[in-house]
């Protein structure tokens, strides 16, 4: 073999010995030792050379050992860039040789290594490999053709843009695309499927090499549409979906034929084909420009999607467990990881309805039953969450429900009209599968069709409540989800009759489902009840005793997975009813089981984090009633924070360690914030007794590299300023420089919330300091940072808003320092708060701004219209603010009539 590098016998022997040992023993300790040794090998410069040599040249070794070496080489392809040139050249040459090996497994792994190398090196820097793969498509050996196509399809999938460039004066795709089109006629179905698979991967990058042959490509798809092979048909459907998204102009002339084919394919016996066909309608519905072409097809599409929403036999094989299973412990694989967000301070805009969807509907993930929110924006994350909730892969049923939801948003009453006959038949069908499908459809169309559904809800809601008694667990669980979708209408209580007829029965029914003996129903019931809690808010207060007793009973009944949802339901209830939970009777019901769980659980993130998050809400709601339980919880939180910081310090000193889980640190800080909000000044003995002191720990957290840790830490500072400023004040000289450093106008996406919380916290601090000279020393530096945050065109809207509020609040207490700069930010300040809902923060900010205007009237001269326009948006200003507004009327006559009229009516101008 050409190349200057030669493996050393000792090094080769060590690598082979490790590979053989890995196959002989399944002992955990042995495998750990092997993993460490393989990690050590990655630091050896010529490691990739040894792996390539074993894969390509050691025919005396077993196929299994050579394959393991190949996969290690694939997974460590990035080391090729660090290897000496002669080693890299050897590895590249050897793996091309391995691609021609007589053993199929070696050829297969060599193809995968080639793709990994191409990804690392770029095809333009290793044209020999690309040339080999393309020329192998002409091989008379079918296996060699398939191996080459396997690699090429993976390359087209993983890095198509790297292939769609000039290489040495030519574009490889100009040659490859016609070859792929020709091979779509190949007698072998695997070759045909690979050919179409390679071609459709080029659509989303809008490759001109493909689009030059677009008509031939579409003709190829039509020809293969009735192919005997299911994978070929699936690829045809995928290609048509992508063409609809990126080149609808080419499909519209043939839309009648394409639509009929896709409608037919939704009934394909092969689940994968049917899923791709169903996805076509989801894509179609999401494109507003295609609405005019979809409307004539609506009756047929609606019928097809409704049929696809019926459980298939394959789905039932997974979901049919009808016997009670609440007593069966969950497997670890049943519990999906959850990502926990840190506390973020945000301002609610006037266009946002508190806690609800539009028109009486609630957007909600399909509780334990269906998964992700059936909203009209489905990205990959949405589908991942949908899959997690359902417990299976994305399937035809879920895709159809998502498409039906988007159609409802797009067509509203039109969809309801064409669906109603079929929907009625399904809802009142004696076949439980049809009933379940009808209930799913009713929930899926809740948001888009609400205007035409509302008149029917007095009949439909009692029907759904009755369906909670169905013998089939799947019917009960989907009914919970659908009731959750209509929770806003149910919880909007215009009369006692509505409360007694709809709200109370729904609440009681969902609480029964919370205690169902089937885990899936428990999950759906608990999720739907959480949604009802969010919508009902104080309406739940008269029912807190039975609600709490039901939820508490569930603590002893639930297995690990549903406990996570139960914690969320308890936390949401606390947020909804607030101080009503401070009643000693309710504290006595709820706290013992929570403390029992708290005592039982170790400081393990997976187990403890959900309970920490739940308690953070409970402590705020209970206020000082939480005091008897606060001491041990506070001490443990401080210990967790200290331990996590020590772990992170060790990680920074030794980056080869696994990075500590940040969630437990974030949520622990949030719980400490909750305790502070609940206890107020009563927190003083706990602060004085903790070792190390809380402020020492939080001071370190304010410098933590993880933005979410800093985010929660600034929230704690703000909460402490509000609740017990005198305890915080001695530490402000150490804290203020960190706040100033966190305020910058162009934060990275994951740092925005930390900047928002820093801005909010310093605004709260400013109000407590007032005109105190100690605070005055920091004002110039703060304003120097905050004004750019407000003015920067690309800063996030939330940062504009928080910066504006804080500038106003600082101006309220230190106007002489801020007022000279009023002209710099006045217009942007008014625009930033134009749409914010009336609240105390906005009030104090506007009082501060008015004070600045009084100190520096000239500063507002160029922005007076914007100031008045912002004032005109107020609905209920406080008396003090109202008087400040009434103190001016200069330039009034130059304003637009609409603004003048609003101001005249409100201020008698």
Model confidence over 826-852: pLDDT tens digits?
999 999 998 888 899 999 999 999 999
The answer to whether 123 and 167 have CB atoms below 8 angstroms apart is yes
**730: which residues sit within 8 A by CB, 6+ positions away?**
none
* pLDDT-flagged residues of the chain (< 70): 1-3, 318-322, 327, 330-393, 605, 888-896, 899-900, 902-909
* Cα separation, 869 vs 213, whole angstroms: 56
Q: What are the structure tokens assigned to 30, written together?
A: 């042995």
Side-chain half-sphere CA neighbours of 461 within 13 A: 28
Note whether 65 and 23 are within 8 A (CB). yes
Structure tokens at 745: 């106008």
Which tokens is 561 given?
Answer: 């997975």
Query: DSSP letter at 502?
Result: I
* Tokens, residue 523: 């999950």
What is the spatial distance between Cα 761 and Cα 719, in angstroms, rounded to a whole number? Answer: 8
Site of tokens 């019931």: 525
Distance CA(732)–CA(728), nearest Å, equals 7
pTM for the model: 0.82
Instruction: Write the Ramachandran bin of 139: left for phi over 0, alpha for psi from -120 to 50, otherwise beta.
Output: beta
278, two tokens: 């169903």
- DSSP label at residue 503: I
pLDDT of residue 36: 86
- Residue 380's Cβ-count burial label (10 Å; 0-12, 13-18, 19+) is exposed
Preceding peptide of 692 cis, ω within 30°: yes
Where b means 16+ CB within 10 Å and e means fewer, 331-368 reads eeeeeeeeebebbbbebeeeeeeebbbebbbbbbbbbb
Count CB neighbours of 866 within 10 A.
17
304-348 residue pLDDT tens: 999 999 988 877 776 655 677 776 776 665 556 555 556 666 666
C-beta neighbour count of 878 within 10 angstroms: 15
**Tally of CA atoms within 13 A in the half-sphere of 783 that contains its CB:** 23
Phi, psi of 371, rounded to the nearest 5 degrees: 100, -135
Tokens found for residue 369: 């039953």
Residue 209 CA, chain-centre distance (Å), reads: 35
Q: What's the N-to-C CA distance of the chain in angstroms?
A: 94
Radius of gyration of the chain (CA): 32
Q: DSSP state, 201?
A: T
What pLDDT sits at residue 312?
A: 83
The closest alpha carbon to 49, from 6, 99, 112, 101, belongs to 6
CA dist., res. 260 & res. 296, Å (int): 12
Gap between the Cα atoms of 104 and 143, Å rounded: 8
Residue environment code for 426-449, b if the CB has 16+ CB neighbours within 10 A, otherwise e: bbeeeeebbbbbbbbbbbbbbbbb
Supply the DSSP string of 597-644, one letter for each residue: HHHHS-S-HHHHHHHHHHHHHHHHHHGGGGHHHHHHHHHHHHHHHHHH
């Amino acid at each position: 073999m050409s190349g200057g590098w030669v493996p050393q016998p000792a090094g080769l022997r060590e690598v082979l010995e490790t590979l053989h040992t890995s196959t002989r023993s399944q002992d955990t300790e042995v495998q750990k030792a092997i993993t460490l040794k393989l990690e050590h090998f990655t630091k050896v410069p010529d490691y990739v050379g040894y792996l390539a040599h074993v894969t390509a040249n050691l025919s005396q070794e077993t196929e299994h050992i050579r394959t393991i070496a190949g996969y290690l080489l694939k997974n460590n392809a990035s080391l090729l860039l660090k290897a000496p040139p002669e080693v890299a050249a050897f590895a590249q040459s050897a793996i091309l040789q391995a691609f021609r090996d007589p053993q199929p497994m070696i050829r297969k792994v060599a193809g995968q290594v080639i793709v990994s190398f191409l990804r690392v090196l770029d095809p333009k820097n290793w044209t020999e490999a690309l040339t080999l793969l393309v020329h192998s498509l002409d091989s008379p050996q079918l296996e060699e053709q398939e191996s080459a196509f396997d690699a090429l399809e993976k390359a087209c999938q993983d890095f198509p843009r790297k292939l769609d460039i000039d290489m040495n004066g030519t574009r490889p795709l100009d040659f490859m695309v016609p070859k792929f089109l020709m091979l779509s006629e190949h007698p072998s179905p695997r070759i045909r499927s690979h050919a179409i698979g390679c071609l459709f991967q080029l659509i989303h990058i809008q490759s001109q090499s493909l689009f030059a042959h677009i008509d031939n490509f579409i003709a190829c798809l039509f020809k293969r549409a009735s192919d005997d092979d299911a994978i070929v048909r699936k690829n045809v459907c995928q290609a048509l979906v992508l063409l609809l998204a990126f080149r609808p102009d080419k499909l519209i002339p043939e839309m009648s034929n394409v639509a009929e084919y896709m409608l037919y394919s939704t009934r394909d016996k092969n689940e994968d084909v049917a899923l791709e066909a169903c996805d076509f309608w989801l894509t179609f519905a999401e494109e507003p420009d295609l609405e005019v072409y979809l409307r004539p097809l609506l009756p047929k599409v609606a019928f097809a999607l409704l049929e696809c929403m019926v459980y298939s036999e394959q789905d039932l094989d997974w979901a049919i467990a009808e016997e009670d299973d609440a007593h069966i412990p969950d497997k670890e694989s049943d519990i999906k990881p959850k990502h926990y967000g840190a506390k973020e301070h945000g301002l609610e805009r006037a266009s946002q309805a508190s806690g609800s969807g539009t028109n009486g509907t609630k957007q909600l993930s399909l509780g334990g039953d269906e998964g992700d929110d059936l909203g009209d924006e489905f990205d990959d994350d949405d589908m991942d969450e949908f899959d997690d909730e359902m417990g299976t892969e994305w399937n035809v049923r879920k895709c159809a429900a998502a498409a039906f939801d988007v159609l409802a948003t797009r067509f509203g009453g039109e969809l309801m009209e064409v669906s109603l006959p079929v929907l009625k038949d399904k809802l009142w069908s004696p076949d439980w599968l049809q009933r379940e499908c009808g209930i799913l459809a009713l929930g899926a169309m809740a948001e888009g069709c609400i205007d035409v559904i509302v008149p029917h809800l007095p009949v439909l809601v009692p029907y759904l409540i009755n369906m909670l008694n169905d013998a089939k667990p799947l019917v009960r669980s989907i009914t919970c989800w659908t009731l959750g979708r209509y929770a806003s209408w149910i919880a909007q209580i215009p009369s006692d009759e509505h409360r007694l007829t709809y709200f109370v029965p729904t609440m009681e029914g969902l609480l029964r489902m919370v205690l169902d003996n089937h885990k899936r129903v428990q999950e759906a019931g608990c999720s739907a009840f959480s949604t009802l809690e969010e919508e009902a808010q104080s309406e739940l207060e008269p029912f807190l005793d039975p609600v709490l007793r039901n939820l508490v009973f569930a603590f002893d009944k639930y297995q690990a997975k549903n406990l996570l949802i139960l914690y969320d339901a308890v936390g949401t209830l606390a947020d909804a009813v607030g101080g009503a939970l401070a009643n000693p009777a309710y504290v006595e019901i709820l706290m013992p089981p929570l403390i029992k769980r708290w005592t039982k659980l170790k400081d393990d993130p997976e187990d403890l984090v959900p309970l920490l998050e739940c308690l953070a809400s409970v402590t705020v709601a209970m206020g000082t009633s939480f005091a008897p339980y606060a001491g041990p919880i506070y001490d443990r939180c401080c210990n967790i924070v200290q331990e996590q910081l020590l772990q992170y310090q060790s990680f920074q000193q030794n980056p080869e360690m696994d990075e500590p889980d940040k969630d437990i640190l974030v949520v622990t800080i949030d719980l400490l914030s909750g305790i502070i909000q609940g206890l107020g000044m009563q927190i003083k003995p706990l602060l004085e007794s903790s070792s190390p002191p809380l402020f020492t720990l939080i001071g370190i957290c304010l410098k933590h590299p993880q933005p979410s840790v800093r985010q929660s830490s600034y929230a704690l500072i703000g909460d402490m300023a509000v609740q017990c400023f005198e305890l915080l004040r001695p530490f402000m000289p150490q804290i203020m420089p960190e706040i100033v450093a966190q305020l910058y106008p162009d934060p990275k996406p994951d740092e925005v919330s930390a900047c928002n919380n820093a801005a909010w916290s310093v605004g709260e601090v400013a109000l407590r300091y007032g005109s105190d000279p100690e605070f005055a020393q920091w004002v110039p530096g703060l304003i120097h940072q905050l004004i750019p945050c407000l003015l920067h065109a690309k800063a996030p809207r939330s940062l504009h808003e928080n910066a504006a509020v804080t500038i106003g609040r600082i101006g309220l207490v230190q106007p002489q320092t801020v007022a000279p700069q009023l002209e710099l930010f006045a217009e942007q300040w008014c625009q930033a708060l134009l749409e914010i809902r009336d609240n105390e923060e906005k009030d104090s900010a506007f009082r501060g701004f008015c004070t600045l205007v009084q100190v520096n009237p000239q500063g507002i001269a160029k922005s007076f219209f914007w100031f008045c326009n912002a004032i005109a948006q107020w609905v209920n200003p406080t008396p003090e603010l109202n008087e400040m507004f009434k103190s001016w009327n200069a330039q009034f006559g130059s304003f637009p009539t609409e603004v003048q009229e609003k101001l005249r009516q409100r201020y008698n101008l």
